[in-house]
Amino acid sequence: MAGSEKNLMAHAQKAVTDKDYQWALLLSDQLLCINPTSLEVQKLKAISLRSLGARQIASTARNYYLTQALEAENKLHIGMMKIIKFLGLFK
């Protein structure tokens, strides 16, 4: 499967076609390690996340997948909460 970015992308696209969204998500993450700015890969990841979200019966799991899809498309940025804020130690 490995050997080139193009080959890996072909496998990821086939996984989406086959509705194997978890595998497509894993492959898209690997592709983003190779090329983090690829809009095509970001779109593929978002499709996989939305499809997985649609299958969830738990609202928290569905929310996670759908929120991650928005982040993959750069439509949402959650960022990291600083530990000091989390602990309530800020003034």
d(CA 31, CA 36): 8
Q: Note the pLDDT of residue 84.
A: 55
| Multiple choice CATH, 5-86, 3.40.228.10, 1.10.10.10, 1.20.120.330, 1.25.40.880 | 1.25.40.880
Comparing CA positions, the residue from 20, 1, 21, 19 lying closest to residue 72 is 21
C-beta separation of 29 from 11 below 8 A: no
> Could you tell me the mean pLDDT of each successive run of 10 residues in the chain, 91 residues long?
86 97 97 95 97 96 95 84 56 52
Q: Note the pLDDT of residue 88.
A: 60
Delimit the domains of the chain by residue range. Answer: 5-86
Q: Note the pLDDT of residue 3.
A: 79
Within 10 A of 32 (CB to CB), how many other CB atoms are there?
A: 16
Q: What is the largest CA-CA distance in the chain?
A: 53
